[in-house]
Structure 1
Amino acid sequence: MARRLRVSWKSAYQWHQMWKEAGAAALVSRGPGGQRNKLSPYCLNKLAEYLDQGPAAHGWVEDQTWTAARVATLIGQKFHVSYRVSGATRLMHRLGFSPQMPVRRVAERDEQAVERGRRRPGRR
Structure 2
Amino acid sequence: MDALRERRMRAVELFEAGRRQVDVVAELGVSAQTASRWHRAWQTGGREALVGVDRLGRTPRLSDEQLAEVETALLAGPKANGFSTDLWTLARVAEVIERMTGVRYTLSQTWLILRQRLGWTRQRPARRAVERDDAAIEAWAKRDWPRIKRGLAAAAPGSASPTRADSRSCP
TM-score by length of 2: 0.45
Aligned residues: 101
The match for 1:24 is: 47
Return the offset for 1:32.
Answer: 1.5
- Contiguous gaps of at least 5 residues in structure 1: 102-124
- Contiguous gaps of at least 5 residues in structure 2: 1-23, 125-171
Q: Which has the larger radius of gyration?
A: 2
How many Å separate the matches in 1 of 2:26 and 2:76?
A: 50
Q: Deviations over 1:51-108 (max 9, x none)?
A: 22222332443561332x322211111222223333322221221223568xxxxxxx
TM-score by length of 1: 0.58
Q: 1:4 to 1:52 in 2, by over 3 A?
A: farther
Query: Looking at both structures, which has the greater relative contact order when contacts are Cα pairs under 8 Å and sequence separation is at least 6?
Result: 1
Return the offset for 1:7.
Answer: 4.0
Q: How is 1:36-47 mapped onto 2 (pairs within 5 angstroms)? A: 36-47=59-70
The match for 1:15 is: 38
Percent of paired sites with the same residue: 33
Paired amino acid for 1:33: L
What root-mean-square deviation, in Å, do the aligned CA atoms of Structure 1 and Structure 2 show? Answer: 3.1
The match for 1:49 is: 72
How many Å separate the matches in 2 of 1:19 and 1:5?
A: 16
